[in-house]
Structure 1
C-alpha cells in the first residue's frame, strides 16, 4: 500500500485590488524575491509566473496587476485585462484583501469572481497589524456570507504568519498531474524582463510621492561577458520635468537607483552585474496602445 500523497500540479491566480500585498505573498511562498513590491499602488503591471516545486507538487503562482476602476488610460486598461485574463486559465483563485478592510474595489473584484466556476480562497492579509485578534472571527463570518469561498485564510505575507494553511488549502484543490515546468525553474519570464522590473521597483521606492507613474523601463542591452552581465536600461518618462525628477540633484537619485537595482540583480542572477541607466522622454507612451506593445505590454504575456 502506497501512503505517498498524490503529486499535484497547476496554476494559482493571485488577484485583488492594488496594494493589498499580492506580490509580497508570492515572494514569501517562493522563498525568493521574484515580484517587485512597493507601498505604491499599481507597482505590478504584468502577469508574472512564480513556480514552486516541492515533493508534493508544482504550484505555479500568477502575480497580477491590481484590479481597479480607473480604465481611462491605455495602461490602466491593459492592467485590468491582464488581471481578468489570469482567472480564466487557472485551477485555483486566491483573492487577497487587506486585513479587516472591505472596500468598494474589493466588492468590484468579488463581482468578477462570481462569473468564474474556479474554487476561490479568500486571504485576509496583514493580520500582523491587528491589535486584537479576537476581532478576526466576526469579520470572517461576515466575509463568509458574501460568497461561497472554498476557504478563508487570515495571514501575514510580510512576516510569513499562517502561510502553511494557505499552501495546504491550495494543495487540496490542485488536480493530480505531472510537472509543467522544469524542477529548478523559478519563473517563465526572461532575465531581461526581471532586470527591467528591478530597476522600476527601485524607482518606485526612491521617488515616493514625486513618482511619475508615467515611467517605464526598457532593457536595450543584456549580454553575458564571461560570467558578468552587462545591462543597459532606458527609463522612459512622458515629460522633461519628470526626467529631472528621476535623475535627481547632481544625478544622485539615478545613481542610487542603479546601485540598489544592481545589488538585487546580482542576488537573483548569482553573478556580477555592470548596469548603466539612461533617462529619455517619450511623450504619451502610457496612453498609446502601439507604444505599450513596443515596450512589452502585451496581452499574450
Structure 2
C-alpha cells in the first residue's frame, strides 16, 4: 500500500513517471452507484489512505475525485463519483451530470450496490443507464458484512441483473476489507496493457487544498448530521507553510443564518469541535502540525446559482 506520510501534491517537481514494464496494465475505473453504498470507503480502502470523505449522511461526495492505486502489475485510477439520484436543486443536477459523464470517459465501470438489501428502483435506474454504454461493467456487491441470514434472496436480485447484462459480479466488504484482494485482481484482469499515467507514489490527482476542504466538510456532516445536511461548501482561503506548523484559513459557506448559528454553536462550541476534529485529520494528511482557523459565511441559495457553484469548485465536467 501507499506511504501514509506521502505529501499529496501533483505539482511537486520531484515526481517522475517511469516507463512501465512489459505486461503492465493501467486504466481508469469509475465507481458508480446510488448514494451511500460505500463508494468513498471502498476507494480509501483500496488505496490505503484517506482521500475521499465518508459519512452516514447520503450524498457525501460531490466532485469526481480520482484516487490512484499502483501495484507491481498495474496502475488503477479510480474515479469516485457522486451517488446517482434524482436531483432537487442546481447542485444536484451538476452532481448527477458529472457522475453520468464519467461512465463513457473511463475504461471500466465498477457498479457498486448495497448487498444488505435487495436491488431497488435506484439500482435499476443505473442499470438502464449502463445498458446504453459500451464501457465494460463489473457489479460489486458491497457491505457483505451487513447481510442478513436470508441473504440468498437478496443476492438473487443482483444475480438477475448481472446475468441479464453478462456482467461479472463479486461480493466484498469495503468496511472490513473482506474480498478486496479478489476485487482488485478482477479489476486488473479487466484492464488492458498500458503505461503509468501518474507517478507510482501519487495517491490522488487532487491538490492538497481540496482534500483539506473535504476533511473539514466531513466533520461538519458527522457532527451536525441532519441539521446541516448538504447546504455547506468549504473554501480554503489561505495556506501558510512555516517550518514547524502549517496555518490554514477556511470559510464555511451556508445558505441561512440559522445554519450559521448551528455551526458556531453556543459560545462557539460547535465550531471549535469541528475545527479540532478537522485539524486532527489534516495533520494525518500532511504529517505535520496544523493551525486551523474557520469562518462561517452566509451565501443565500448558493446551491441554485451556477456562478456561485463554479466559484466554490462545483463545475460540470465535460
**Scaled by the length of structure 1, what TM-score is found?**
0.94
Q: Which runs of 5+ in 2 are unaligned?
A: 1-20
**Does the Cα contact within 8 Å between 1:69 and 1:105 map onto a contact in 2?**
no
Q: 5 Å matches for 1:208-247? A: 208-247=225-264
Partner secondary structure for residue 230 of structure 2: coil
CA distance in 2, matches of 1:108, 1:180: 32
CA gap of 1:277–1:95, structure 2 versus 1, over 3 A, is: same
How much has 1:250 moved relative to structure 2?
Answer: 1.7
1:141 to 150, 153, 159: 159
Once superposed, what is the RMSD of the aligned Cα atoms?
1.6
CA distance in 2, matches of 1:104, 1:138: 16
How much has 1:262 moved relative to structure 2?
Answer: 0.7
In terms of mean alpha carbon deviation, does 20-29 or 210-219 score higher? 210-219
Q: Which runs of 5+ in 1 are unaligned?
A: none
CA distance in 1, matches of 2:244, 2:220: 27
Verify: 1:196 aligned to 2:178, yes or no. Answer: no
**Does the Cα contact within 8 Å between 1:212 and 1:242 map onto a contact in 2?**
no
**Does the Cα contact within 8 Å between 1:123 and 1:152 map onto a contact in 2?**
yes
**Scaled by the length of structure 2, what TM-score is found?**
0.89
Partner of 1:49: 66
Partner secondary structure for residue 145 of structure 1: helix
Partner secondary structure for residue 106 of structure 2: coil
The superposition leaves residues 245-273 of structure 1 with CA deviations (integer Å, 9 ceiling, x where unpaired) of: 11112211111111111111111111111
How much has 1:74 moved relative to structure 2?
Answer: 0.9
Q: 5 Å matches for 1:29-178? A: 29-70=46-87, 72-99=88-115, 100-132=117-149, 135=152, 138-149=156-167, 151-178=168-195
**Does the Cα contact within 8 Å between 1:5 and 1:56 map onto a contact in 2?**
no
How much has 1:144 moved relative to structure 2?
Answer: 2.6
CA distance in 2, matches of 1:137, 1:198: 34
CA gap of 1:52–1:124, structure 2 versus 1, over 3 A, is: same
Which stretches of structure 1, 4 residues or longer, exceed 6 Å deviation after superposition?
none
CA distance in 1, matches of 2:158, 2:122: 18
